Amino acid sequence: MSEREQPETTRPAVTPPRSVPDTPASAPGAPPAGLRRELPAEVPPAAPRTASGRTGASEAPRMTHPPQVSQKPQASETPAADGPAEPELTGRRRLVNGLWPPRVTRAQLIVALLLFGLGFGLAVQVASTSDTDSALRGARQEDLVRILDELDDRTERLEDEKQGLEKQREELENSSDQAEEARRQTIEKERQLGVLAGTVAAQGPGIEMTIEDTKGTVESDMLLDAIQELRAAGAEAIQVNGVRVVAGTYLSDADGGVSVDGNKIKSPYRFKVIGKPQDLEPALNIPGGVVQTLEKEQATVTVERTDKIVVDALRAPKRPDYARSSSR
């Protein structure tokens, strides 16, 4: 059989190759063509110019996009961290981080407690001083004069007491019989304490004050103010209507009068006071004092000085239940 008469053998269809657009030749070292879709194309090298100044026919069209940036990172660039980059700390933020949370040591805690105690003490002292100053600043002129006179009188009495004690010490040191001198001074001291305690009678210069209460407006607190004023002026012995006034005396209101240590007394109230008359009378007659207060209550007050006042009302000595002399 001839070759022409032989049946043609069926050949498989061959898919023609996909036409690839003409691309300029890649420069040496350029990335594969597959990366062209993701990365910008490189600028092709300029074609050599002809003598006429025109480029050859195979010149590629000029690209308008910017040149490709090198894919490899420079040596000076720092590789990106895996996590998000932390913001740069400012000066204020660094200060806050240094102060909080606080780092307290034992020494710092002790110093803080000492400073707190010192500040609290200073605050209390300043507050007490300011209270005293404000009280005196708001006082009347008459009250300031009275306070000043009382301070002067107390200063004089303390000076006299100091001189008397120094004199007794000198007598004890210079006496030939010190035991006899000590006994004599002990008896004198006992007599003085008996006068103050009301166990012995007393006499001397002083004043007599009479209070006529016809309206019944005088109360126990007014008489107590009079006694306190007399004591502050230097009264050594006081007697009111036959009742001896001592350190433990108390006064209370009663029907139609006043009770002194449980003894009811009525108007007129007669005070017998032993002391320096030049100090006792002005203390009662100062502006805003005892006399002026009683007169506002429609009471009549008379004060007389005398060279001899006899205080003969006595108090029975009371033996203490628990206290004993330390010399035994």
The Cα–Cα gap between 218 and 254 comes to 11
Give the Å distances, CA to CA, from 321 to 135, 318, 324, 325.
42, 9, 8, 12
The pLDDT score that the predictor gives to residue 206 is 94
pLDDT digits (tens, 9 = 90+) for 182-195: 787 788 888 888 88
Quick check: 205 pLDDT over 50?
yes
Quick check: 223 pLDDT over 90?
yes
Quick check: 71 pLDDT over 70?
no
pLDDT digits (tens, 9 = 90+) for 105-149: 788 888 888 888 888 888 887 777 665 556 566 667 777 777 787
Average pLDDT of every residue of the chain: 75
Quick check: 167 pLDDT over 50?
yes
The residues, any chain, with a CB within 8 Å of residue 68's CB and separated by 6 or more, are 39, 40, 41, 42, 43
The pLDDT score that the predictor gives to residue 82 is 53
The Cα–Cα gap between 38 and 32 comes to 11
Q: In the structure encoding, which two tokens stand for residue 27, read together?
A: 């420069």
- Dmax over CA atoms of the chain, in Å, equals 189
Most confident range (mean pLDDT) of 15-29, 72-86, 110-124, 221-235 is 221-235
Quick check: 18 pLDDT over 80?
no
Q: 299, 211 in Cβ contact below 8 A?
A: yes
Alpha carbon 153 to its chain centroid, in Å, reads 37
Quick check: 28 pLDDT over 90?
no
The pLDDT score that the predictor gives to residue 11 is 53
Quick check: 211 pLDDT over 80?
yes
